[in-house]
Structure 1
């Protein structure tokens, strides 16, 4: 009897350990068509530094290594904005990507805000050709309100039932050209969130439940603090290209986001016992192409898909003697080049461009120059619409700037959306991001003179398909708007052809007086800072 009891006690730890399983979720996000290694920007000890990073074939090498560690418990997911962001993508209307995604062997993908760029039908065709799981919980056909893709995905690994639901940004028709998302109906995240979480946990009986969200860091953190997500283990965030190295803890869930441009791979290891997460580890893996050699099969497919476009994309348009980059929230050299070109081409009082988040650094070589190619132009401006010139009053400009600043710095995270601060040339702006909306703008000049509220000014922006002619970069009710014969790309190409070599710098045209120089994205309430 004594021997039996000892044997039984000895077996208890073994039984407990046998009930624990490790599930690994690997995440890419906001690839934006960056399939090969490239120069990347990092912030180390408060200083900007550059080094090579990225490449899908290099990510595949890391994924395969991790799958060897946990062969029956590893999933690879992507959080959207995969195929937009390059000239090759535009020329092929995204058709070069399904074969690459096949070779990467993704388990799950979702549409992001830029998947709509070639229209609804192209998006549906491309994502259905991925021949793997694609879900979204808040995108519907306008004609019949049927879901465009399944609203959830459930799989089982090592006896653990795993569920995913997904949300795209419902403000896509505002953030981008409305024509891109024609025929698509978006619902707010909370429209069906609580019901879906309940269904997955109580009806489908999943052990682990994840949300893959493409709504930006501010809204993802707000979501983690909302009672509707109680029961959700992690929110896999996307959209804002943030590099979260330590999961942000919300009241009801946790948030991660793994950067962009194939420069990083997020790795979440979850320990499950008796159907519940009891522990986790998270690592944001920097994709160093020297450390992780390219997977030969994936690289071969990438090279083959890109080859037909090489001659056009390699065309040199001009040169820069200064680094061009686009990671600062308030002002950066890359957008100063673009808006200076638009101002030069149009001859207006001030020219504007969106605060795009995509585009990696262009760095001068040892000889002090870097070629700016057609490929780079598409990277900087993946949308090439015709320019538009109109007249707006000083008061309109003030009201518009207050709204644009609020899009970035709203105290309510649910009111933040899109990219960074709007970019411009011919105008200067000083503001205080800490103040309330309507009180943030401190000083504006146009062509070196203080803004006059009653004066009319000529403004240039790009036309956005589907919006009213009188809307200029989200500013409504402009007067005498005229669409020009030339496009954004025409303006930049002509500017580079005329100047041959440029040297854009941060010149203080936009200043947040409360934030200092080199303003990178941050969420003080969570302790997060871009690095």
Structure 2
């Protein structure tokens, strides 16, 4: 009898005295299935992440794996395969939840729907809506999971949809409105802890955390290719793991008789982590396939094409040789007087040597179409002003140019920063009509270029064509690539 009573006492202490714990593994910026190598070293890869996931699940069966968004376009791999290899890998891993980044929509709403439909895990969106107001593709606005007595609620928001395709099929609901609505629903669910997944800027995340104290942690998009970043609002973290799946944020939520507490650590996804063998086979398959499909030489590069992508992002605030080259290719293709390229659309830098097909696509991975239109000089000046309106934030709207030059002062008020605009060396004439080759993304109002909707007609020399196709044909024609800085853009 004493043994039975003692056993019951031990069991009672196990049930009522022990902490309950949930482990959340979070990563994002999932553009490439295999490890990335650059100036910051080698990092990422689904095979290493699989190893970390399996290890965590052995330690704690209550492990939830979350992908924060951007598994589609943005780089060469995404441009070619549109995110579907990542879905294949995440189904095998498996992950549990994915939020939407902007890049899931780079190739259209239909492709984004296909990504969701092929997923065995749950997608979440609290603020992406169909035209009728329903959640995008019928995904849940919030998810509640009970881990042996710890109820966790998950919300997911997407910001900056104006930086991807222009469409009226879906819209981005106001973040604060959608969060407030879904938090009310989660309150009725009596959750112990709320996790918000975001794709917002740090300032917005802080605003959200301060406005909604019900949120326990924000898992945000990456802000650095080199560093993990965490900001605390009180004791609540806003967490940004390293870009390109370079690290995993591990957030442990612990519940006991004293309430809820949390513990955060970052796990590096580097060569210190042994790769899962089956996942490594998948990585190697796609690495080899990409080289077979796109590895042939189309030109010789004499100088580095330097956009600053992933580093100082110089194509977003100053003239670059690669910006000149791309804008020149558009202008050459359509035979226009001018060429424009938004700096945020240039997604790589290329070292000297053999210039391969994959290099051309890695520079322009979004498959944006380029067209040619007529504009008055005053409209073009207004567009240049819009281009420099957020240089302090290194906004992608900054215009790289061909056939036109200008100066700007980023310290002056927005709308009056541009001066000395010249077309082929002569002062621009405000009421004169000029022909311009430019991405349809900005032509249709993307990045705030509403003025470019007001054209004076279309230049009908050639049909609208995908940007990388135009650029690659231009490279094949010139063969030897040696673009220089020419003083097209001067900053004060």
The TM-score bracket by the shorter chain reads: 0.7 to 0.9
Aligned position for 2:37: 39
Contact 2:47–2:277 (CA<8 Å) still a contact in 1?
A: yes
Matched, 1:112 2:94: no
Matches within 5 A, 1:228-247: 229-238=212-221, 245-247=228-230
CA 1:301–1:354: 2 relative to 1, 3 Å? same
1:179-226 CA distance string (max 9 Å, x none): 4xx4324321122321212322x222222211111234443344334x
Aligned position for 1:8: none
TM-score by length of 1: 0.75
Shift of 1:108: 0.9
CA 1:449–1:374: 2 relative to 1, 3 Å? same
1:442-486 CA distance string (max 9 Å, x none): 5544434444444433321123499489x9797221222236334
Shift of 1:142: 2.2
Contact 1:80–1:112 (CA<8 Å) still a contact in 2?
A: yes
Aligned position for 1:314: 295
Matches within 5 A, 1:217-366: 217-225=202-210, 227=211, 229-238=212-221, 245-250=228-233, 254-270=237-253, 272-274=255-257, 277-283=260-266, 285-288=267-270, 290-304=271-285, 310-320=291-301, 321-322=303-304, 324=306, 325-327=308-310, 328=313, 329-331=316-318, 332=320, 334-356=322-344, 359-363=347-351
Matched, 1:196 2:178: no
Superposition CA RMSD, Å = 3.8
Contact 2:142–2:154 (CA<8 Å) still a contact in 1?
A: yes
Shift of 1:124: 2.4
Matches within 5 A, 1:128-167: 128-143=117-132, 145=134, 148-157=138-147, 159-167=149-157
Matches within 5 A, 1:70-81: 70-81=59-70
Contact 1:214–1:237 (CA<8 Å) still a contact in 2?
A: yes
Q: Which of 38, 46, 50 matches 1:56? A: 46
In 2: Cα distance, 1:379 partner to 1:80 partner: 20
Q: Secondary structure at the match of 1:480?
A: coil
Aligned position for 1:517: none
Contact 1:72–1:157 (CA<8 Å) still a contact in 2?
A: no
Contact 1:41–1:360 (CA<8 Å) still a contact in 2?
A: no
In 2: Cα distance, 1:445 partner to 1:250 partner: 49
Q: Secondary structure at the match of 2:459?
A: strand
CA 1:215–1:433: 2 relative to 1, 3 Å? same
Q: Secondary structure at the match of 1:76?
A: strand
In 1: Cα distance, 2:206 partner to 2:346 partner: 22
In 2: Cα distance, 1:66 partner to 1:360 partner: 34
* Structure 2, unpaired ranges of 5+: 1-9
In 1: Cα distance, 2:430 partner to 2:26 partner: 49
Contact 1:391–1:479 (CA<8 Å) still a contact in 2?
A: yes
1:145-172 CA distance string (max 9 Å, x none): 3553101112233643221101122x52
Aligned position for 1:27: 26
Shift of 1:319: 3.3
Matched, 1:493 2:483: no
* Structure 1, unpaired ranges of 5+: 1-10, 43-50, 364-368, 411-415, 514-531
In 2: Cα distance, 1:501 partner to 1:264 partner: 39
Aligned position for 1:516: none
Shift of 1:115: 1.5
Aligned position for 1:401: 384
Q: Secondary structure at the match of 1:319?
A: strand
Q: Secondary structure at the match of 1:224?
A: helix
In 1: Cα distance, 2:285 partner to 2:110 partner: 25
Contact 1:406–1:437 (CA<8 Å) still a contact in 2?
A: yes
Shift of 1:136: 0.5
Shift of 1:389: 1.7
In 2: Cα distance, 1:352 partner to 1:318 partner: 23
Shift of 1:441: 2.9
Aligned position for 1:390: 373
Aligned position for 2:398: 421
CA 1:403–1:420: 2 relative to 1, 3 Å? closer
Q: Secondary structure at the match of 1:75?
A: strand
In 2: Cα distance, 1:160 partner to 1:508 partner: 61
Contact 2:386–2:449 (CA<8 Å) still a contact in 1?
A: no
Contact 2:222–2:241 (CA<8 Å) still a contact in 1?
A: no
In 2: Cα distance, 1:495 partner to 1:264 partner: 39
- Of Structure 1 and Structure 2, which has the larger fraction of its residues in helix? 2
CA 1:450–1:230: 2 relative to 1, 3 Å? farther
TM-score by length of 2: 0.81
Aligned position for 2:92: 103
Shift of 1:137: 0.9
Q: Secondary structure at the match of 1:489?
A: helix
In 2: Cα distance, 1:142 partner to 1:302 partner: 38
CA 1:244–1:96: 2 relative to 1, 3 Å? closer
In 2: Cα distance, 1:204 partner to 1:259 partner: 33
In 2: Cα distance, 1:242 partner to 1:293 partner: 21
